[in-house]
């Protein structure tokens, strides 16, 4: 926020801030217009019709009363009654009221259709944007807040804003037509109408601004509540919650957050409504002042009885129109504030992946890490330091080291989920940053330790490894054989067509090791990739299965580069090259024999594990 300046007094600044927030109205209108021109146009037309008709009805009311008075006079003088004009006016008024009701229904239908279309459009925009963002952005809690807020609120807000804009337009038209009628009584009456409404308007604007500030400020608490809801009611956490009896503890936290938020809400609601009532009283007082004035003028014979009914109605409806306008404006202000969040998210700068190279300068050179350093955003400790490596096609590499030593981070750098802070990574002699990101990703196949368990068919879960062969059943089977998943898949009720997971009807849950075999098969789908990485996806398998898988993996990757991360030294020993990593740095390297001969950390841990198996 800019510091207050002396020549810009506080109320002016407040007003500027208030008006500035309306800048999203135009964008919301554009969005709605792009969603459906026909529906938006229909809505506009209906708005104008619904805006004019109430004044017409009021005016017809006056004509009816005056015609009644005239007819009564004629009847008293001549004993005759002329029904014709009276019935015509009554019929006309009935038609106008039918018109108003039809316009209201049609508006509701247009709004409902637009809401559905717009909700879908905004959600797709949010999800498409998510595809362009970097992993770092997803891991940034502030950014994640923005995304959550955008998803939660924004799909309904644009239409709400447009509806309010139209309602404002409609009421302004009504108000103009009422003003046209009222000004014939007295311009002062018109002024009175507006002055009466002003205090409520100011209060509304202030309080809706406060409400949004609260909403924005408490976003971390709201997220904490959402998280607790997930933990308390999701299949993957409920096991622990039950067994550790965490329910009351977590529910207590959940309620605690609500109580704090509620106190703040209550204060705001009470202040808002009390001030609304007090300032609204001013409106009521002005109405009755006008009432007395109109009545007096009628008694003095300056206006007719029909005029009196009309002016009173105009004044009353005018007040309602003004207060609806004000509610619309303060609602629009609120919607605009929420939309600002959606646009902040949509306009989040996308990391520029500008590389175009599709073939390296030195084909066949393989992979090189040269003096690579990397620290995670927001962290002070480097996760990778001065890392050097050369891996040639046909070689296999194993990364070993304690938890948190930086192994996964190296893979994230290799796959460009992050870029190094210093140094560079080369593939076939060309910096990864110069490679076309799509070509690069096609050359790499990775299964992370937290691979995704897609709640899809078994075959599709494997097919995910190569989108071009997503539905290719023969390829699924070949990959499943390599990943050693075929034996248990054949025993499933629908084989490769079995639905996995518990989210959908008939879904079957697999064991941890079985899921890992599915993930491995997914890696084997990636036939075109020449760098294959397995980041501990075999931890849940028995040692024999893991050793078998790696043997198979090695045979299938003869001309490729294979990188595996494992805490099992019995498997690691098979690799051509082994790097022992500690604190993001290589402390020992060589093949198994060399490292054993060196008798360092590797040898120590290898012997420790081997003695465990004895
Ligand atoms: N997204 C992240 N943001 C910030 N720091 C991170 C992030 N991921 C990992 N780290 C930190 O970076 C360091 C290296 O983590 P990394 O995941 O690379 O370890 P690892 O060797 O793969 O461990 P493990 O054997 O447990 O899988 C750790 O200190 C960790 O706390």
- How many angstroms is it from 261 CA to the middle of ligand 1? 35
Distance, CA 259 to ligand 1 centroid (Å)? 36
Q: Which residues contact residue 103 at a Cβ distance below 8 angstroms, ignoring those fewer than 6 apart?
A: 46, 49, 50, 53
Is 3 a residue whose pLDDT tops 80? no
pLDDT > 70? residue 265: yes
Q: With H, G, I as helix, E, B as strand and everything else as coil, classify residue 496.
A: helix
Q: What digits encode the pLDDT tens for the residues 165-223?
A: 888 888 888 888 888 888 888 888 888 888 877 777 777 777 777 777 777 777 778 88
372, pLDDT greater than 90: yes
Which of these, 210, 219, 335, lies nearest to 275 by C-alpha position? 210
Q: What is the atom index within ligand 1 of the atom nearest the CA of 406?
A: 18
Q: Which of 563, 554, 559, 560 is nearest to 389 (CA)?
A: 563
**Among 138, 373, 375, 407, which is best to mutate for testing ligand 1, by the most ligand atoms less than 8 A from CB?**
407
**Burial class of residue 405 in the structure, from the number of CB atoms within 10 Å of its CB (0-12 exposed, 13-18 middle, 19+ buried):** buried
How far does residue 402's CA lie from ligand 1's centre (Å)? 11
pLDDT in tens, 279-300: 888 878 888 888 899 899 999 9
What's the CA-to-centroid distance between 450 and ligand 1, angstroms?
13
Quote the ligand 1 centre to 544 CA distance (angstroms). 28
Indicate whether residue 383 lines ligand 1 (CB < 6 A): yes
Tokens of 152: 């939660």
119-164 residue pLDDT tens: 889 889 999 998 888 887 887 777 887 787 787 776 677 778 878 8
Q: What is the mean pLDDT of residues 297-323?
A: 87
Per-residue model confidence as pLDDT tens digits over 475-525: 999 999 988 899 999 999 899 999 998 778 888 888 888 898 899 899 889
Domains of the chain listed by start with CATH number: 21-347 (1.20.1560.10), 367-612 (3.40.50.300)
Pocket test for ligand 1, best of 134, 383, 420, 584 (most atoms within 8 A of CB): 383
- Distance of alpha carbon 524 from alpha carbon 519, whole angstroms: 9
Ligand 1 midpoint to CA 374 (Å):
11
d(CA 47, CA 522): 56
CA distance 592 to 612: 19
CA distances from 583 to 383, 387, 545, 563, 588 (A): 7, 11, 30, 19, 12
State ipTM: 0.96
Distance 407 CA to ligand 1 centre (A): 8
404 CB under 6 A from ligand 1? yes
Q: Which of 89, 86, 62, 88 is nearest to 75 (CA)?
A: 86
Q: What is the DSSP letter of 498?
A: P
8-12, 112-116, 308-312, 336-340: which range is least confident on average? 8-12
CB 106 within 8 A of CB 42: yes
State the number of CA atoms in the 13 A half-sphere of 346 facing the CB.
Answer: 17
- Among 46-50, 240-244, 534-538, the least confident range: 534-538
Decide: 241 and 250 in contact? Cβ < 8 Å: yes
Listing DSSP states for 220-255 in one string gives HHHHHHHHHHHHHH-HHHHHHHHHTT-HHHHHHHHH
Contact between 401 and 580 under an 8 Å Cβ cutoff? The reply is: yes
Q: Is the CB of 35 under 6 A from ligand 1?
A: no
Interval 240-264 mean pLDDT: 91
Mean pLDDT, residues 566-580 taken together: 87
- Using one digit for the tens of pLDDT, what is the confidence trace for 525-538? 988 888 989 888 77
DSSP 2: P
Q: Mutate which of 137, 376, 384, 399 to test ligand 1's pocket (most atoms within 8 Å of Cβ)?
A: 376
Q: How far is the CA of 230 from the centre of ligand 1 (A)?
A: 25
Q: Which residues contact 460 (CB under 8 A, 6 or more apart)?
A: 454, 470, 471
Angle between helices 305-346 and 247-299 (to 10 degrees): 150
State which ligand 1 atom lies nearest to the alpha carbon of 402: 25
Atom of ligand 1 nearest to the CA of 136: 1
Determine the pLDDT at residue 286: 83
Whether the CB of 573 sits within 6 Å of ligand 1: no
Query: Could you identify the residue written with the tokens 């004000």?
Result: 326
Return the ligand 1 atom nearest residue 412 CA.
Answer: 18
Q: Cα–Cα distance between 498 and 113 in angstroms, integer?
A: 37
Ligand 1 centre distance from Cα of residue 410 (Å): 10
Ligand 1 atom at minimal distance to the Cα of residue 405: 21
Please give the structure tokens belonging to residue 271.
């202040």
Q: How far apart are CA 36 and CA 396, in angstroms?
A: 56
Give the pTM. Answer: 0.74
- What does the alpha-carbon distance between residue 383 and residue 401 come to, in Å, rounded to a whole number? 13
Q: 407: Cβ below 6 Å to ligand 1?
A: yes
| 10 confidence band (pLDDT: 50, 70, 90) | low
**What percentage of the chain reaches a pLDDT higher than 90?**
29
The tokens of 576 are what? Answer: 């051509």
139 lines ligand 1 (CB under 6 A): yes
- Phi and psi angles of residue 398, each rounded to the nearest 5 degrees, phi first: -120, 140
Instruction: Supply the residue whose CA is at minimum distance from atom 31 of ligand 1.
Output: 404
Mutate to test the pocket of ligand 1, among 398, 405, 581 (most ligand atoms within 8 A of CB): 405
Is any ligand 1 atom within 6 A of the Cβ of residue 406? yes
Residue 403 in contact with ligand 1 by CB distance below 6 A: yes
Q: Is the predicted pLDDT of residue 557 greater than 80, yes or no?
A: no
Q: How many CA atoms lie within 13 A of 401 on its CB side?
A: 26
- 533 Cβ below 6 A of ligand 1: no
Q: Which residue's alpha carbon is nearest to atom 25 within ligand 1? A: 403
Q: Is the CB of residue 384 less than 8 Å from the CB of residue 372?
A: yes
Å from CA of 52 to ligand 1 middle: 66
Tell me how far the alpha carbon of residue 381 lies from the centroid of ligand 1, in angstroms. 11
Average pLDDT over residues 578-603: 91
């Amino acid at each position: 926020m800019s510091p207050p300046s002396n020549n810009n007094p506080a109320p002016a600044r407040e007003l500027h801030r208030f008006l500035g927030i309306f800048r999203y109205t135009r964008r919301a209108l554009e969005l709605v217009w792009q969603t459906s021109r026909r529906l938006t146009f229909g809505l506009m037309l209906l708005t104008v019709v619904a805006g004019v008709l109430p004044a017409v009805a009021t005016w017809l009311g006056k004509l009816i009363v005056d015609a009644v008075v005239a007819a009564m006079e004629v009847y008293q003088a001549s004993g005759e009654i002329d029904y014709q004009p009276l019935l015509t006016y009554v019929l006309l008024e009935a038609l106008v009221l039918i018109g108003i009701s039809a316009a209201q229904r049609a508006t509701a239908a247009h709004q409902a259709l637009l809401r559905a279309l717009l909700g879908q459009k905004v959600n797709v925009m949010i999800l498409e944007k998510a595809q362009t963002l970097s992993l770092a952005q997803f891991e940034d809690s502030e950014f994640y807040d923005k995304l959550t807020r955008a998803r939660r609120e924004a799909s309904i807000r644009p239409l709400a804003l447009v509806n309010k804009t139209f309602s404002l337009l409609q009421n302004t038209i009504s108000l103009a037509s009422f003003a046209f009628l009222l000004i014939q009584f007295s311009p002062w009456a018109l002024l009175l109408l507006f002055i009466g409404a002003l205090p409520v308007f100011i209060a509304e604007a202030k309080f809706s601004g406060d409400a949004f500030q609260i909403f924005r400020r408490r976003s971390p608490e709201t997220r904490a509540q959402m998280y607790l809801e997930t933990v308390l009611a999701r299949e993957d956490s409920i096991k622990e919650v039950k067994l550790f009896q965490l329910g009351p503890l977590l529910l207590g936290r959940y309620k605690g957050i609500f109580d704090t938020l509620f106190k703040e809400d209550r204060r705001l609601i009470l202040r808002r409504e009390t001030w609304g009532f007090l300032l609204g009283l001013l409106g009521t007082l002005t109405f009755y002042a006008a009432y007395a004035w109109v009545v007096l003028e009628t008694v003095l014979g300056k206006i007719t009885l029909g005029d009196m009914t009309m002016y009173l109605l105009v004044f009353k409806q005018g007040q309602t129109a003004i207060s609806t306008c004000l509610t619309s404006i303060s609602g629009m202000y609120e919607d605009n504030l929420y939309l600002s969040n959606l646009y902040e998210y949509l306009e989040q700068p996308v990391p520029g992946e500008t590389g175009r190279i599709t073939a390296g300068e030195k084909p066949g050179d393989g992979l090189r890490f040269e003096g690579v350093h990397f620290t995670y955003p927001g962290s002070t400790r480097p996760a990778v330091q001065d890392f050097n490596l050369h891996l040639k096609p046909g070689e296999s590499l194993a990364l070993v080291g304690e938890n948190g030593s930086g192994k996964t981070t190296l893979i994230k750098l290799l796959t460009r989920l992050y870029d190094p802070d210093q140094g560079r990574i080369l593939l076939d002699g060309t910096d990864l940053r110069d490679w076309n990101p799509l070509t690069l990703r096609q050359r790499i196949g990775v299964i992370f330790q937290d691979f995704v368990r897609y709640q899809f068919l078994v075959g599709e879960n494997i097919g995910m490894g190569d989108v071009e062969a997503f539905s290719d059943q023969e390829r699924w089977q070949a990959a499943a054989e390599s990943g050693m998943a075929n034996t248990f898949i054949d025993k499933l009720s629908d084989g490769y067509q079995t639905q996995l997971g518990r989210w959908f009807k008939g879904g079957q849950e697999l064991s941890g090791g079985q899921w890992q075999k599915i993930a491995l098969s997914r890696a084997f789908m990636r036939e075109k990739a020449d760098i294959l990485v397995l980041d501990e996806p075999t931890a849940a398998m028995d040692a024999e299965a893991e050793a078998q898988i790696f043997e198979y993996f090695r045979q299938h990757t003869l001309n490729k580069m294979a990188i595996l991360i494992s805490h099992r030294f019995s498997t690691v020993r098979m690799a051509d090259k082994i790097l022992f990593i500690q604190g993001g740095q290589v402390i020992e390297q060589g093949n198994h024999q060399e490292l054993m001969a060196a008798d360092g950390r590797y040898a120590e841990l290898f012997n420790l594990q081997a003695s465990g198996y004895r």
